[in-house]
Chains A and B, each alone.
Chain A
Amino acid sequence: MEGDKKRTKEDTWKAEELRKHLKALLPDSQNEDQKHREKKLRRERTVHDIDPNRHERRDREKSKERTRERERFKSTERDRDKRREREREKEHQREHRERHKDKVRESCLEEGHSVLKHKDRETDRERDKKHKTYEIKQIDPQNYLKSFEGRDTENHRRREIRHLLEEEKARTEERERRHKAQKVKEDNDLRKKIEKVLAYKGEEGEGVHKLEEHQELDKERERRHRERKEHSVGIEKERLSKEKSHKHYGKEKEEKHKSKRSKEKSSHRDREGPAAEANERVKSRENERKKYDLRNSEYKKGERIQEEMSHQLVRTVKDKGKLIEKEDMDTRQEEIKDTHISNPDTGLEDFSTNYEDDFEDYADDFEDDEDQSGEVGDAEENLREVPFSRTSEIEEIQRAITAENDRIFTPLPKKLKNEKKEPVMERQDSSVRNSFRGIFMDFQMASQRQSSRSMASKQKKRISELLPLIDLDFSVSFSLLDLPPVNEYDMYIRNFGKMNTKQAYVQCNEDNLDRDIQTEEVETLEKWTQHPGESALVSGGPVNSQDTSVNGAPTPKIDSQKLASFLRSACQVIAVLLEEDQVATQPRKLRSRQTSLSISDSCFQLNTNQPFLHGRKIPCLYVSQVQRQTLLSVHGLPEKAGVGLLSRKSLICVWNIWQPSSPQKVLICDSEVICCCFSPSKATLVFAGTADGSLLVWDLREDSRMHPCMMITETEWTFRVPTFSTDGILNSVNHTSPILAVEPVSTSLNSDHSYGLSSLSYQEEMSGPPFQIASMDENGILNMWVVVELQKVDLAGSQTDLGLVPGGKVKLVHSSTMELNNSLFPKDISQRMPQTLNIKFLSSNPNHFIVGTNIGLVGHGTRHDLKVVPRLFRPQESRLRSISITAIDFFPFGKPLFLVGCSDGSIRLHQMTSAYPLMQWNDSTKGQPIVALQWALTRPAVFFTLDASSNIYIWDLLDNDLLPVAKQTVPSEKVVTMTLLGEPEKANGLLGIVLAKESGQIDIQYVKKKWALPQPEESDKLYSVLLQSF
């Protein structure tokens, strides 16, 4: 913009210079022109007297506008005070000038007309020339223009008018270029405008367009000349005053500017005059138009006023020369501010490429069209309204106007084509517009423009409505995504958490969970039990330290052993004493019956009147060889089978003859007992052989609680079961036939040697030195058993010793087996299948034994199969007879003699060294088989025999060696067996005969003293007797 401005300014300067130059060249013509103009003015005044107040009104309006302008300036407060003052001064001067002008005009009225005409002619001529040059240059519009040519040349007035119209056209064009719809109401304003436009044109043309320059320059020259001539005098004065006034504020202004400004002013001054002159003719029309404009102004009041004001500003600013542009800019800015629709005055300098301005171009275009059409309309109206004269002139004028329009617009494109230095936008706009105007019919374009203009106005209105609605703001801001970073734990879980695992919880110190199981050790204790619970002890087991023993009260071991033995013996003594007391208090109860036997002094009965002993036969009696008072009685199975525990069992009763009221112990076993014996050294063990071939052992020391007990007739009886039984075990060696004899075999030989040693070591508990048991069955099988006493008691029973009762301490171990039939007898005898019946061991040498057979022979054998002589003890008669050896008894007083009783009633006395007997007594019992035979324990020469018919024979060999000295028949009932009781150590003469009766009764007869008391040197006498008999 600055560049443009400068350039335009310079151009204007050039123009000025040119003008000066021209002025200098043509002083005369100018003067003439001035005169002409003045004349013309006068004439117009006269002609247009119809409206005499016109000038005054104009002046009034002007002043009004000025005041308005002033007010506005005040209100806006944009201008400096100085300037305001200055303007006031200017206005003052202007008014003064106006007045002066009026005076001049009035004075020059008469002459002015003719001169004016002349001048017009000159100008017209020049214009014709110009038009012709146009016609030459422009081919297209030529035809169109030619039609007007003829008329133009005819009428000068018309030309004048045309000239005016041309100027007006230029004005409109200028308005277009400035993009402002300026409605001019006053002639003054109009004229000034025109002048201004011309000046601008000149500037443009001179500066840039050389083709047009010529024409324009001509015009300009003429105009300038005229103006300067007219106002040369007044201007000089004014210039001085102006310069003075400018000096007030124009310190910053350059000197050059001052001069140019003054020139401008002068030109401006000039413009007023000639413009008025030129417009004199058209004044009536312009009045009309002014009216219309006023009407228009009613519609567009605000706009109009502002435009006017701006216009005023422009005008006033013109006075100050170059300030105009700045002022224009200011006013434009003001306008922009005042009106929403920007309506800027884009003057010379305003070649901005602003879109709004472009937009305004269109609006202005439409307004221009309006104006044009309005002008045409005005012209027509003028024709109608002006009553007197000149309608035809007006018509012509109209034609001229159109022609002029065309003519003016046609050159513009060319001119603009050459405007290379002009801004692009402006040039294009103007060129397009102008070319349309120039080439085609205006009306078509007008309708188009009208439609587009309506559209634009619509848009404008829409914009105006929209703008306040639209409110852009930054208020909203969106958070599109906020993804927090994943912490390590989540990352871990994401990576590894899916692998078939589940995170139940995390343990940290705060909730430190601890899980464990609190179970206490299960205390176990091994116990045993037994089913059926027949015995007293059915359950048990290892006892803990605190528990009391099943076996009895915990007592110190040493003391317990001593105490037990003491008590055992003591209680026996006490029991016996008590028994004796009872007997003493009940005198002759037992003895009275003893008197029935002649051989006995006294007798007593063992109390076998026990309910469990009723109906039991006694097959065997045995008296301990150590404890002579202890008696075993075997009670067989009852004759009539009863019910209950004992009905199928045989019993063994252990008696103490001093305590005959009741058996001391009762032993039971399942099978029938055939033979029994005590242990040799101590009567603590009882051995028994049964009919089914089993050997049984009872340990009498066992606690009675180990055994079942029964309440029978208000007395508690303990029935002792066998401690050990070979029944069912050791089948390879066990007997398969009834055991006929059981004999204890004491190791007397060994005992001699070990006697000294054993004194210190052998336990009191034990039954004595170790011994063996020999058992012989019907088939002649002799088994030797070692009796082993266990150190440790196992109440649960032994796993290996199946025959041992739980808690038992004694067991039998098989030692050896002998086939007596093969070993003892020679082949001739053995072919007869002798049956062994009984066996006796030699007491002095237990390795030797004799066996009684059923063929009358007695075999002699040893335990180690040694050859012995004689192998057989035969009867006196050599022939073999089937007589059974029923009883064998060794001589108890040292000599190896023995008695043999046979089933035929014969009795033989053998010595060990001879096969044949020392003596033999046949028919002593009248053929009755001998049942029992036994040496008297106290007298060596006496022995007792019992035959099957219950006769007891007493033999006294010293007295009679052929016949028994006494014979006693037991009257009441049959005696089954007999044994002797006696204490050989004591010479008290007590010898008892134990008689077991068939009814189960046991009688004890004390034989008379003559057969009981030993005689002096009886053994020697016996030997001698025996030797004699030999």
Chain B
Amino acid sequence: MAEPGPDEAAENTYSLRPSLQQRFKSSTVKECIHAILKEKLANVQYIPEEMPELTKSLSETITNRLKEEGFDRYKMVVQVVIGEQRGEGVSMGARCFWDADTDSCAHDVFVNDSLFCVVAAFGCFYY
């Protein structure tokens, strides 16, 4: 009973913050998104019937790609928006309530003659 108990025995076997390698790096994520968008949307015309499928496949592709990046203990949210390019003005924004130290966001925009595509990827760290 006199021993201090198991509390002091294990010191720092757990991690409080993500390591530098595992941190959600918005620049690399942006590159990934950009590459995928460029590949998938190179000569795509806006056809309203096909867009829902396209957004889903895009988001899945991007999510899987981001998982390969090795952001451990990160919850990744990928949002894909595709709209028709008809000359109207569009403004999109995002606001996040999170721990700015660990969590981050990356987004990229792809625009061609007939459509625009906005992809936002949010990474939230699980403590």
Contacts and interface: CB of A to CB of B under 8 A. Distances in A.
Given A461-B7, A477-B94, A479-B92, A292 B100 contact: no
Contact of B89 (A450, A476, A477, A485): A485
A472 interface: yes
Interface in A469-513: 469-486, 490-491, 494
Contacts of B94: 477-478, 480
A871 interface: no
B4 to A, nearest CB: 7
Interface stretch (A109-117, A370-378, A601-609): A370-378
A296 interface: yes
Interface stretch (B9-17, B36-44, B48-56, B64-72): B9-17
Contacts of B16: 462, 465-466, 469
Interface string A706-737: 00000000000000000000000000000000
B90 A483 contact: yes
Contact of B6 (A457, A469, A483, A484): A457
Contacts of A237: none
A482 B95 contact: no
B5 A457 contact: yes
A461 B5 CA distance: 13
A10 to B, nearest CB: 41
Contact of B107 (A295, A475, A476, A480): A480
Interface in B99-127: 99-101, 105, 107, 109, 111, 113, 116, 118, 120, 127
Contacts of A453: 6
Contacts of A461: 7
Contacts of B7: 454, 457-458, 460-461
A471 B127 contact: no
Contacts of B101: 469, 471
Interface in A440-460: 450, 453-454, 457-458, 460
Contact of B98 (A466, A472, A480, A484): A472
B26 to A, nearest CB: 10
A490 B88 CA distance: 12
B1 A481 contact: no
B15 to A, nearest CB: 9
A299 interface: yes
A475, A478, A479, A484 — most chain B CB neighbours (10 Å):
A478
A476 B127 contact: no
A478 B120 contact: yes
Given A462-B16, A485-B88, A474 B95 contact: yes
B90 A458 contact: no
Contact of B10 (A373, A458, A479): A458
B124 to A, nearest CB: 11
B47 interface: no
A553 B65 CA distance: 107
A811 B98 CA distance: 122
Nearest to B88: A485
Contact of A469 (B5, B17, B109, B118): B17
B13 A480 contact: no
B96 interface: yes
A398 to B, nearest CB: 16
Contact of B97 (A373, A469, A474, A481): A474
Interface residues of A, number: 39
B2 interface: yes
A473 B100 contact: yes
B91 interface: yes
Nearest to B108: A480
Nearest to B125: A470
A498 B81 CA distance: 29
B120 A458 contact: no
Nearest to B94: A478
B95 A478 contact: yes
Interface in A343-379: 370, 373-374, 377
A491 B87 contact: yes
A465 B109 CA distance: 39
Contacts of B1: 292, 296, 370, 373-374, 377
B99 A482 contact: no
B99 A470 contact: yes
Nearest to B95: A477
B6 A481 contact: no
Q: Which label, helix, strand, loop or mixed, suits the secondary structure of the A interface?
A: helix
B10, B87, B101, B113 — most chain A CB neighbours (10 Å):
B87
Contacts of A477: 93-96
Contacts of A454: 6-7, 9-10
B127 A470 contact: yes
A476 B120 CA distance: 14
A346 B117 CA distance: 55
Nearest to A495: B87
Nearest to A488: B87
B87 A481 contact: no
B5 A481 contact: no
Contacts of B2: 295
Contact of B127 (A466, A475, A491): A466
Nearest to A483: B90
Nearest to A484: B89
A481 B96 contact: no
A473 B17 CA distance: 17
Contacts of B13: 458
Contacts of A299: 4
Nearest to B127: A466
B20 to A, nearest CB: 16
A485 B87 contact: yes
Contacts of B87: 485-486, 490-491, 494
Nearest to A480: B92
A460 B6 CA distance: 12
A471 B97 CA distance: 10
A374 B93 CA distance: 61
Contacts of A491: 87
Interface in A160-201: none
Nearest to A460: B7
Contact of A483 (B17, B111, B120): B111
Interface string A370-407: 10011001000000000000000000000000000000
B41 to A, nearest CB: 15
Contacts of A482: 90-92
Contacts of A296: 1
A476 B90 contact: no
Contacts of A473: 97-100
A226 to B, nearest CB: 34
Contacts of A484: 89
B105 A479 contact: no
A469 B103 CA distance: 13
A481 B109 contact: yes
Given A296-B1, A453-B6, A479 B97 contact: no
Contacts of B98: 472-473, 476
Interface string A25-37: 0000000000000
A340 to B, nearest CB: 14
A481 B4 contact: no
A853 B71 CA distance: 144
A235 B39 CA distance: 90
Given A296-B1, A299-B4, A469-B16, A476 B88 contact: no
26 contacts: A450-B6, A454-B7, A457-B5, A458-B6, A458-B10, A462-B14, A462-B16, A465-B16, A466-B16, A466-B127, A469-B16, A469-B101, A473-B97, A473-B98, A475-B100, A476-B100, A478-B107, A479-B91, A479-B92, A480-B120, A481-B81, A481-B107, A481-B109, A482-B90, A483-B91, A490-B87
Interface of A: 292, 295-296, 299, 370, 373-374, 377, 450, 453-454, 457-458, 460-462, 465-466, 469-486, 490-491, 494
Given A470-B127, A477-B94, 11 more contacts: A292-B1, A377-B1, A457-B5, A470-B99, A478-B95, A480-B118, A481-B81, A481-B109, A482-B91, A484-B89, A486-B87
Q: Which 4 A-B pairs have the closest CB atoms?
A: A485-B89, A454-B6, A486-B87, A481-B92
